[in-house]
């Protein structure tokens, strides 16, 4: 059997340790976000209701993943090209993205590239936006 004095002493030690280890919810949130940050991203507008028939380019930054949002004012085919260095472009297999009429589409891209180039088959207005997550 453990003497009461030892039990009381252990209770004091555990109470002291417990008190010193208490962390507020705010402190815990800061600690967790430092260890496992929330996905942070950026939005890049390539074209805003404009003619992209001559080609429009944009830097993709260091995104872990990114999504291409397209909206067209009329029928158009949009060629999507990516570049590893910003000067030499390669057409992706999903290209061209075809619109039979005014429409929109959202395409999740799994490619790693330095820049993107979009080229329209005609002068129909296109809005193209990228949302990337670091």
pLDDT score, position 99: 95
pLDDT in tens, 63-107: 888 899 999 999 999 999 999 998 999 999 999 999 999 999 999
Fold of 41-133: Jelly Rolls (2.60.120)
pLDDT in tens, 95-116: 999 999 999 999 998 888 999 9
pLDDT score, position 11: 74
Q: What does pTM read for this prediction?
A: 0.70
Delimit the CATH 2.60.120.260 region(s) of the chain. 41-133
Query: 62: pLDDT confidence band, cut at 50, 70 and 90?
Result: confident
Asked if 99 contacts 77 with a C-beta cutoff of 8 angstroms, the reply is yes
């Amino acid at each position: 059997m453990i003497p009461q004095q030892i039990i009381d002493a252990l209770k004091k030690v555990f109470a002291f340790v417990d008190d010193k280890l208490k962390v507020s919810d705010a402190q815990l949130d800061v600690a967790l976000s430092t260890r496992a940050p929330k996905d942070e991203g950026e939005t890049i507008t390539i074209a805003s209701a404009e003619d992209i028939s001559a080609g429009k380019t944009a830097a993709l930054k260091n995104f872990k993943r990114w999504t291409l949002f397209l909206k067209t004012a009329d029928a158009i085919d949009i060629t999507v090209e990516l570049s590893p260095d910003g000067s030499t472009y390669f057409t992706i297999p999903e290209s061209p993205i075809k619109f039979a009429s005014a429409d929109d589409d959202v395409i999740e891209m799994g490619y790693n590239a330095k820049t993107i180039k979009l080229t329209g088959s005609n002068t129909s207005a296109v809005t193209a936006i990228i949302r990337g997550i670091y």
